Amino acid sequence: MSNLLQFSISEALSLLEKKEFSTRELVETYINAIEKTKDLNMYLTTCFDQALEQAKISDQNYLNGNQRFFEGIPLGVKDMFCTKGIETTASSKILKKFIPTYESTVTQNLWKEGAINLGKLSCDEFAMGSSNETAARGEVINPWNFEEKRTPGGSSGGSAAAVAAKAALAATGTDTGGSIRQPAAFCGVVGLKPTYGRCSRWGIVAFASSLDQAGPITRNVSDAALMLQVMSGYDPKDSTSSNKNVPNFYNDLGKSIKSIKIGIPEEYNSDGISSDILNAKDMTINFLKENGAEIIPVKLPLTKYSLPVYYIVAPAEASSNLARYDGVRYGARIDGDSLDEMYENTRNLGFGDEVKRRIMIGTYVLSSGYYDAYYLKAQKVRRLIKNEFTEIFKQVDYLVTPTTPTTAFKLGSTQDLLTMYLNDVFTVPASLAGIPGISLPIKLDKNKLPVGIQILGKDFDEQGLLNVAKVIETCASFKDTPNGATS
Amino acid sequence: MKNTDQNSNYISGKTGDWEIVIGLEIHAQVLSSSKLFSGASTEFGKDPNHNVSLVDAAMPGMLPVINQTCIKQAIKSGIALNAEINKYSVFDRKNYFYADLPQGYQISQYKYPIVGEGSIKITDANGEDKVIGIERIHLEQDAGKSLHDQHPSKSFIDLNRTGVALMEIVSKPDLRSPEEAASYVKKIRTVLRYIETCDGNMEQGSLRADCNVSVRKPNGDLGTRCEIKNLNSIKFISQAIQYEAERQVEILENGGVIDQETRLFDTSTGETRSMRSKEDAHDYRYFPDPDLLPLELSDSQISEIRSDMPELPDQLVERLISEYGITKYDANVIVEEKEYVHYYENSAKNRDGKLVVNWMTSELFGLLKKNNIQFNQNPISPNHLNELVELIENKTISGKIAKDVFEIMFATSKSPKMIVKEKGLEQVTDDSVIEDFVDQVINENKDKVKEYLSGKDKLFGFFIGQVMKVSQGKANPGLVNKILKSKLK
């Protein structure tokens, strides 16, 4: 029955409707796949009993013909989403055994439409990392060339790996500086970071509030459109959520891209960027040309400031967002002789090194005497970066860039933090500007590792982004599957 | 140290006079049924941790959503304090760790408060009006409560108050004495209670103040200030300021310097003591809260609130003076509480306003105080006071009898007309009856009459008193006077 794993969301929905197989069969197949891929260390928590219960309801709904929009679709959920009654740790020791009494808006939107939760997927601790190596429960192994133990990327490493390994039909991710797009690229799947405000942040463990955005990680562009449609929507509980209408992304896919303008920013290049990645970019440009798009080289000179700005703004917000993990009300508590000592013990043992590092950086850039030089300056530059995108989008409709400077590197190979931070160099600018971005696989490099290409668009133009991605996807015809996947 | 005659506000020290400079930060709890950023109730006196939402407890992934009622209340307060309403304001995070601060930060307003500069009129020691500048009003969340006395080794946390909206009203350093500070707090409290943006209940902590106090040689350069935290009664505010100013004068006169620090007032000793020095001050790492968009107000939103403002205390004082002919002093006393005004205006309907205000402020307030009864438990209805004054005005009873009637009213809540009727207290205005009283007194005091007639005029008062006594106070004093005079020729 493992052939059920081959179907995408849209295929599965139509086959379920035709009763070619049952939800129960589909869910059991995925449970089986999860068991088989345990070595990749992707799931932190599974909820198979609950999933099978839900499958019964779904099958009943199909039987009665009142199936919901996403009835019976088995999904994995990044551990940053609070899930009612299911342990939610953000891959941190400090939230060990934390079981929320509430469900995040985004996951609730999915369950409401009949999707089924398989379990919680590993990620970097509090989504801080680009390799999944900061996860408290150990790194996830990329299903591509899994015997080489490569990174799935991060922070949504578990989500991207699970989708690539067919241990979930699709997964939710969160993207703060590239945490959906970079792992999607490393794992050869599609990852979409929507416009800031498109998906509610309510119930998602906060890393950097002005940057965090939920999005889908899927096998293909159509599935990304379907997922986004269900995940999105205005939420009065999130003051930064947008009340813009959510289009029918899936139905409106497939529009011609003839004569649309695609900008190729010259700054999205770096020392040591591999020829395979540059080649993937050229391939993409050719696909676009063949489909009648106009290719325009553009300049985004402020790009070089994005990474420094990001590593001020994100830690600043994180240092404050993570203050609530103090051992007083929930999560881990390590006692001490005084309140201060209890704080110190709890936070010292509860947080990993990367999280501590970012809390310290964030605390520093906000402290009196440094605020103006760092945080305030960074916010000003962030505004300029946003303006630069706004201006460029007056000249072109979309931007096409590599998603990452390299393909998936070996776990434990990056000794130097700055090199690690450079992983996000192509994804961070869109996060700072709040604009949507999508990464999709184009080809394999010489090491048989997937190469991703990123498309960026205007605020709330996910539809256009998906259309362009769909055209590229069709041309690239990327069909390889990782050897770590269940077949 | 005593106040000198030249300026009653000055402290007189060994080296001469010292002027006290005071600025106040009043924390006024916003009247609203739910908290500033969550839907949890603000009801006072609930069991610990009863009014706590997921947001208040800072559960992971929870987000604040601004309560529009609190915004309205802040705007209303700003308008009442003649202040500029800022159409653009920002909520910031003030970061610090404490067990009763679940988020690890307080959401407050730092650089861009919702209300800018304003002013308020107070009455100074000489009964003169004085205008005190308001620097700003900003909105912020209250913290929870740590309970240290519930367990020998543990502290308990109550989050009911966590996230309740406060307005911090910051004055300019325009206050010059503990009395002025007290008068300022009273006035702010009165205004906020009038417009119903704060219940002003200081015992419940709905209104608290931090006092910034410094001293200087009259009109000299400003001295170093100390901040006295969290005073929750007007009496404590005055006491703390007085103590603190004298402490500073003593240090300066002995050649010392004032350390800028935060101090606490010990209500049992009446002294202030150091809490933390400037060096130990927190670095709060303020930055705009990324979970909240800047607050933008429209002109129409503000003007709508402005057009809906109730009558303010200052306006009311003017109206009471002109409408009822009472003194400014009396008007101020009445206006202090909205319920007084309501009571007064009801009891003064068609009556002599001055007479009513006297009955209210001296007799009624006196009896309430004597019997330790709150005004809202007052047993005398405005209608009954109105009736009583009517009985005096139409001479049914004398002022003296009225006092007795009033006491019965107070004890029984009965109508004065009924009391007068039951007890037969109507004033005697029948000449022949009064003549009988007068004759009786003259007959019984023949020797005194002799003395009077031989020139001892002062005895006239004695005769009046005797006649009133004989009439059990019911004789009309005017008629008694007239008839006595004619009979004692």
What's the pLDDT score for residue B222?
93
**Helices A377-395/A303-321 angle, 10° precision:** 130
Q: Using an 8 Å CB-CB cutoff, list residues of chain A that contact chain B.
A: 81-82, 88, 90, 95, 98, 100-102, 104, 201-206, 208-210, 236-240, 316-317, 319-320, 322-324, 326, 328-330, 339-340, 343, 363, 366-368, 371, 375
**Helices B299-307/B68-80 angle, 10° precision:** 60
**How many angstroms away from the CA of B155 is the closest CA of chain A?**
10
- Which tokens sit at A442? 């184009």
B124 — pLDDT class (breaks 50, 70, 90): confident
Please give the sequence-ordered ranges of beta strands (E in DSSP) within A194-318, or none if there are none: 213-218, 261-265, 294-298
Q: Which residues pair with A400 in a beta bridge?
A: A455
Q: Does residue A487 register a pLDDT over 70?
A: no
What's the pLDDT score for residue A107?
98
User: Could you tell me which residues come within 8 angstroms of residue A310 by beta carbon, excluding any fewer than 6 positions away?
Assistant: A177, A211, A424, A428, A431, A432
Among B60, B65, B293, the residue with its CB nearest the CB of A236 is B65
Q: Given its phi and psi angles, is residue A480 left (phi above 0), alpha (psi -120 to 50 degrees) or beta?
A: beta
Among A81, A100, A202, the residue with its CB nearest the CB of B63 is A202
Chain A residue whose CA is closest to B103: A324
What's the pLDDT score for residue B470?
87
From the candidates A58, A131, A155, A222, which is the catalytic residue? Answer: A155
Torsions phi, psi of B483, nearest 5? -70, -40
Q: Does residue A214 register a pLDDT over 70?
A: yes
Q: Is B144 on the interface with A (CB under 8 A)?
A: no
A95 — pLDDT class (breaks 50, 70, 90): very high
What's the pLDDT score for residue A417?
83
From the candidates A91, A130, A131, A179, which is the catalytic residue? Answer: A179
Intra-chain end-to-end CA distance of chain A, in Å: 10
B125 — pLDDT class (breaks 50, 70, 90): confident
The average confidence (pLDDT) of chain A is 96
Q: Is B129 helix (H, G, I), strand (E, B) or coil?
A: strand
**How many angstroms away from the CA of A217 is the closest CA of chain B?**
21
Among B60, B93, B98, the residue with its CB nearest the CB of A320 is B93
Closest of A191, A178, A130 to residue A416, by C-alpha: A130
B423 — pLDDT class (breaks 50, 70, 90): confident
| b/e per residue B294-317 (b: at least 16 CB within 10 A) | ebebeeebbeebeeeeeebbbebb
B5 — pLDDT class (breaks 50, 70, 90): very low
Q: Does residue A156 register a pLDDT over 90?
A: yes
Q: Is B134 helix (H, G, I), strand (E, B) or coil?
A: strand
Q: Among A82-96, A462-476, B286-300, B457-471, where is mean pLDDT lowest? A: B457-471
Closest of B210, B107, B96 to residue A368, by C-alpha: B96
Question: Rounded to whole angstroms, how far apart are CA atoms A302 and A309?
Answer: 11
Q: Which residues pair with B12 in a beta bridge?
A: B17
Beta carbons of A160 and A186 less than 8 angstroms apart: yes
Using an 8 Å CB-CB cutoff, list chain B residues near A205. 60-61
Q: Does residue A469 register a pLDDT over 60?
A: yes
Among B60, B104, B283, the residue with its CB nearest the CB of A326 is B104
**How many angstroms away from the CA of B4 is the closest CA of chain A?**
44
Mean pLDDT, to the nearest integer, of A80-90? Answer: 98
* Sign of the CA dihedral running A411, A413, A415, A420: negative
Using an 8 Å CB-CB cutoff, list chain B residues near A176. none
DSSP state for residue A75 in the 8-state scheme:
E
Mean pLDDT, to the nearest integer, of B157-184? Answer: 97
Share of chain B above pLDDT 70, in %: 99
* pLDDT digits 0-9 by tens, B309-326: 999 999 999 999 999 999
* pLDDT digits 0-9 by tens, B189-241: 999 999 999 999 999 999 999 999 999 999 899 999 999 999 999 999 999 99
User: Could you tell me which residues come within 8 angstroms of residue A117 by beta carbon, excluding any fewer than 6 positions away?
Assistant: A47, A50, A51, A54, A75, A77, A83, A86, A107, A111
Question: Rounded to whole angstroms, how far apart are CA atoms A331 and A279?
Answer: 47
DSSP state for residue B363 in the 8-state scheme:
I
**How many angstroms away from the CA of A319 is the closest CA of chain B?**
9
What's the pLDDT score for residue B421?
87
A155 is catalytic: yes
Mean pLDDT, to the nearest integer, of B394-420? Answer: 91
Q: Position of tokens 């009612």?
A: A84
Q: Which residues pair with B95 in a beta bridge?
A: B105
**How many angstroms away from the CA of B69 is the closest CA of chain A?**
16
Torsions phi, psi of A265, nearest 5? -70, 130
Q: Does residue B278 register a pLDDT over 80?
A: no
Q: Is B60 on the interface with A (CB under 8 A)?
A: yes
- Which tokens sit at A255? 């529009």
Among A206, A238, A328, the residue with its CB nearest the CB of B157 is A328
What's the pLDDT score for residue A1?
44
Beta carbons of A229 and A192 less than 8 angstroms apart: no
Q: Where are the alpha helices (DSSP H) in A261-338?
A: 275-290, 303-321
Q: Among A43-52, A435-444, B4-13, where is mean pLDDT lowest? A: B4-13
* pLDDT digits 0-9 by tens, B340-353: 999 999 999 999 99
Question: Rounded to whole angstroms, how far apart are CA atoms B144 and B156?
Answer: 11
* pLDDT digits 0-9 by tens, A357-413: 999 999 999 999 999 999 999 999 999 999 999 999 999 999 999 999 999 999 998
Single-letter amino acid, residue A246: V
Size of interface A-B (CB pairs under 8 A): 98
Using an 8 Å CB-CB cutoff, list chain B residues near A368. 283, 285
Closest of B27, B123, B127 to residue B74, by C-alpha: B27
Q: Does residue B20 register a pLDDT over 60?
A: yes
B1 — pLDDT class (breaks 50, 70, 90): very low
Q: Is B63 on the interface with A (CB under 8 A)?
A: yes
What's the pLDDT score for residue B6?
53
A78 is catalytic: yes
Note whether A100 contacts B59, CB cutoff 8 Å: yes
Closest of B208, B275, B272 to residue B240, by C-alpha: B272
Q: Is A401 helix (H, G, I), strand (E, B) or coil?
A: strand
Note whether B61 contacts A316, CB cutoff 8 Å: no
Q: Which residues pair with A171 in a beta bridge?
A: A76, A217
Note whether A239 contacts B291, CB cutoff 8 Å: yes
* Sign of the CA dihedral running B450, B452, B456, B460: positive
Q: Where are the alpha helices (DSSP H) in A291-335?
A: 303-321
**How many angstroms away from the CA of B101 is the closest CA of chain A?**
9
Torsions phi, psi of B24, nearest 5? -120, 145
Note whether B58 contacts A324, CB cutoff 8 Å: yes
Note whether A323 contacts B97, CB cutoff 8 Å: yes
Cα Rg for chain B, rounded, in angstroms?
30
Question: Rounded to whole angstroms, how far apart are CA atoms A368 and B317?
Answer: 47
Q: Which of A98, A363, A366, A382 to mutate to test the interface with B (most CBs of B within 10 A)?
A: A366
Note whether A323 contacts B62, CB cutoff 8 Å: no
DSSP state for residue A126 in the 8-state scheme:
G
Closest of A134, A152, A175 to residue A426, by C-alpha: A175
DSSP state for residue B254 in the 8-state scheme:
T
DSSP labels, B418-464 = HHHHHHT-PPB--HHHHHHHHHHHHHHTHHHHHHHHTT-TTHHHHHH
Mean pLDDT, to the nearest integer, of B477-486? Answer: 88
Complex prediction ipTM? 0.96
Share of chain A above pLDDT 90, in %: 95
pTM of the entire structure? Answer: 0.90
Closest of B341, B311, B418, B370 to residue B360, by C-alpha: B341
A460 vs B476, which has greater pLDDT? A460
Among B60, B105, B283, the residue with its CB nearest the CB of A82 is B60
Mean pLDDT, to the nearest integer, of B356-381? Answer: 94
Q: Does residue A2 register a pLDDT over 60?
A: no
Mean pLDDT, to the nearest integer, of B150-158? Answer: 91
Using an 8 Å CB-CB cutoff, list chain A residues near B105. 320, 323
Chain B residue whose CA is closest to A80: B61
Question: Rounded to whole angstroms, how far apart are CA atoms A174 and B392?
Answer: 81
Note whether A239 contacts B102, CB cutoff 8 Å: no
Chain B residue whose CA is closest to A317: B290
* Sign of the CA dihedral running B363, B368, B371, B376: positive
Chain A residue whose CA is closest to B287: A366
Note whether B287 contacts A316, CB cutoff 8 Å: yes
The average confidence (pLDDT) of chain B is 93
- Identify the H or E element spanning B304: helix B299-307
Q: Is B292 on the interface with A (CB under 8 A)?
A: yes
Note whether B290 contacts A101, CB cutoff 8 Å: no
What's the pLDDT score for residue A209?
98
Mean pLDDT, to the nearest integer, of A418-439? Answer: 94
Question: Rounded to whole angstroms, how far apart are CA atoms A64 and A57?
Answer: 11
* pLDDT digits 0-9 by tens, B56-91: 999 999 999 999 999 999 999 999 999 999 999 999
What's the pLDDT score for residue B456?
87
What's the pLDDT score for residue B276?
85
* Sign of the CA dihedral running A451, A456, A462, A468: negative
Mean pLDDT, to the nearest integer, of B94-99? Answer: 95
* pLDDT digits 0-9 by tens, A276-312: 999 999 999 999 999 999 999 999 999 999 999 999 9
Q: Is B64 on the interface with A (CB under 8 A)?
A: yes
Using an 8 Å CB-CB cutoff, list chain B residues near A172. none
Share of chain B above pLDDT 90, in %: 76
* pLDDT digits 0-9 by tens, A193-205: 999 999 999 999 9
A179 is catalytic: yes
Mean pLDDT, to the nearest integer, of B110-114? Answer: 97
- Identify the H or E element spanning A451: strand A450-456
Using an 8 Å CB-CB cutoff, list chain A residues near B104. 320, 322-324, 326
